[in-house]
Structure formats: C-alpha cells, structure tokens
Amino acid sequence: MEIGISIALILASLLMILLVLLHKGKGGGLSDMFGGGFSSNFGGSSVVERNLDRLTVITGVVWFVCIIALGLLLKP
C-alpha cells in the first residue's frame, strides 16, 4: 500500500512540475526574463488555459491526498 501511494506521489509531483511550467507567464516575473513575454504573444486560447488550470488543481489535490495518506500510514 505504501509503495503504491509513494509511486502515485512521485508521478503527481512530476506532473505538477510539468503543468506549472506549461502555464503562460503573467508578466513581470522570471518568465519574461527568459523569453516568456515574447512567446505570450503567440499564446493559446483561453479554453486551453482554463483546462490547464483545472488539471493543475486536480493534480495538486491528488498530490495533497497522497501526502496525507502517507503521513497516516507511516505514523508510528
């Protein structure tokens, strides 16, 4: 059980990193420094952004549940 939750946690963590990096920069941050401002002119539709937001939130909830489950399972 612990191994399955640990694997789910690792996969959720990697997916969360990928999803956060896919988000379009809002300006004024590090994303503009590395070319995010230039690529934002060619950005996708708002439907894609909303779906990406939803997927990021769902992945965050899965990640949080895995953390709580592991904490309860590994509690002495």
Q: Is residue 17 part of a domain?
A: no
Measure the CA–CA gap between 76 and 60, rounded to whole angstroms.
Answer: 26
| pLDDT, position 24 | 74
Q: Is residue 19 part of a domain?
A: no
Give the domain extent around 61: 49-75
Number of domains in the chain: 1
| pLDDT, position 32 | 54
- Name the residue with tokens 């939130």: 57
| pLDDT, position 43 | 52
Q: Is residue 28 part of a domain?
A: no
- Name the residue with tokens 């399955």: 4
Q: Is residue 70 part of a domain?
A: yes
Q: Is residue 63 part of a domain?
A: yes
Q: Is residue 60 part of a domain?
A: yes
Q: For each of the chain's 76 residues, which pLDDT tens digit applies?
A: 999 999 999 999 999 999 999 887 666 555 555 655 555 555 556 888 889 999 999 999 999 999 999 999 998 8
Q: Is residue 64 part of a domain?
A: yes
